[in-house]
Amino acid sequence: MTDQYAKDTAQQRTYRAFAALLAGDDEAIDLVQAALLIASTQYPDLDMAHYTAQLDNLARRVRTALALPTPDLQPALPEETEILHVIDAMNKVLFEEEHFHGNRDDYHNPNNSFLNKVLEEHAGIPITLSLIYAEVGRRVGVQIDGICMPYHFLVRCHLSYGFIYIDPYEGGLQMSEHSCRERIRQIAQHRIKFHSQWLEPSTRRHWLTRILNNLKRIYINQDDYDRALTTCDLLIMLNPRATEEWRDRGLIHLQLKRYSRAIKDLKVYTELAPEASDRYEILNYIKTARQMLVMLN
């Protein structure tokens, strides 16, 4: 009983800290802290300062390679700095020296979505490798935006003549807008039309939503409903009006035989999405959950 109580308390602390990070404007959200809080749902004893320091150290090494002083002495890059030289230095440190790479052999392992494990193992999926890339860049003094394309996540950096797109999953591969379009067409086997807004910078909430959706999908496929429930909790905190998250959490409660909670969440879904195509199916689930409550009482 004591262990379970401690676990619940740790989870509630994580939820409170996550909510506090989301309280301000989107651009004020600390992505590293938020990603580590997500990881703490699986690794409650992780040392957040330790992993933040790893990112700081990677950035210092990039600055050293560029013969730049530490950020405390000169936080901004000199105006004459060539951004492509910074990108080359980042790629050398991250991919040649530290060997960060895409985990193709075990892509659907949940650890690929946990920032602490990606920093430990130097392997991850596009979104977590992109997060490391962007955060190292920010510490060096370069703004690097996340690009949340369908099927793939990469980053973008502004140059004097336009944008360059970088794929950390592919070892820092540099791409043009045209090559990004071709990549999506190939992945989707030409089944979808490309939309230019896919190359716009991702909001921080969207970035975190995608990490959590990756985890939710993995856990549901593994029938791990307790962990899937945690991801749904965080997703609803990120966007309380995300109708499908209320539905999914309600259905997960149903799988876990938590009928009262299932009814509550599914009712919220029907209220938020009165015209949903699955409305009558969800109403039947609510009816079933009520019948189970009656039988249990």
End-to-end CA separation in angstroms for the chain: 25
pLDDT of residue 192: 75
Give the confidence band of 72 by pLDDT, cuts at 50, 70, 90: confident
Query: Which residue type sits at 24?
Result: G
User: Among candidates 141, 144, 115, 140, which has minimal Cα distance to 127?
Assistant: 115
**CA separation for the pair 268, 270 (Å, rounded):** 6
pLDDT tens figures, 162-203? 899 999 999 999 999 888 888 888 877 767 777 778 889 999
Q: What is the mean pLDDT of residues 219-237?
A: 97
pLDDT tens figures, 248-270? 999 999 999 999 999 999 999 99
pLDDT of residue 269: 98
Give the confidence band of 105 by pLDDT, cuts at 50, 70, 90: very high
Q: What is the mean pLDDT of residues 87-106?
A: 97
pLDDT of residue 7: 52
Q: Domains of the chain, with CATH numbers? A: 47-199 (3.10.620), 241-296 (no CATH)
pLDDT of residue 149: 86
Give the confidence band of 5 by pLDDT, cuts at 50, 70, 90: very low
Output 282 or 192, whichever has higher pLDDT. Answer: 282
pLDDT of residue 3: 45
Q: Which long-range contacts (CB under 8 A, 24 or more apart) does 154-163 make?
A: 154/126, 154/130, 154/180, 155/130, 156/199, 156/201, 157/83, 157/87, 158/83, 159/83, 159/84, 160/83, 163/199
pLDDT of residue 13: 92
User: Among candidates 105, 88, 106, 109, which has minimal Cα distance to 97?
Assistant: 88
pLDDT of residue 190: 64
pLDDT tens figures, 110-125? 999 999 999 999 999 9
Among 72-81, 138-147, 185-194, name the one with the lowest average pLDDT. 185-194
Q: Mean of the per-residue pLDDT values for the chain?
A: 92
**CA separation for the pair 35, 125 (Å, rounded):** 14
What is the value of pTM for the model shown?
0.92
pLDDT of residue 1: 34
pLDDT at 221 over 60: yes
Q: What is the mean pLDDT of residues 23-27?
A: 93
The full 3-state SS of the chain, as one line of letters, equals: CHHHHHHHHHHHHHHHHHHHHCCCCHHHCCHHHHHHHHHHCCCCCCCHHHHHHHHHHHHHHHHHHCCCCCCCCCCCCCCCCCHHHHHHHHHHHHHHHCCCEECCCCCCCHHHHCHHHHHHHCEECHHHHHHHHHHHHHHHCCCEEEEEECCEEEEEEEECCEEEEEEHHHCCEEECHHHHHHHHHHHCCCCCCCCHHHHCECCHHHHHHHHHHHHHHHHHHCCCHHHHHHHHHHHHHHCCCCHHHHHHHHHHHHHCCCHHHHHHHHHHHHHHCCCCCCHHHHHHHHHHHHHHHHHHC
pLDDT at 4 over 50: no
User: Among candidates 119, 121, 120, 140, which has minimal Cα distance to 131?
Assistant: 119
pLDDT at 6 over 80: no
pLDDT tens figures, 48-61? 999 999 999 999 99
Tokens standing for 208? 């975190």
Do 108 and 218 contact (CB within 8 A), yes or no?
A: yes
158 has which bridge partners? 163
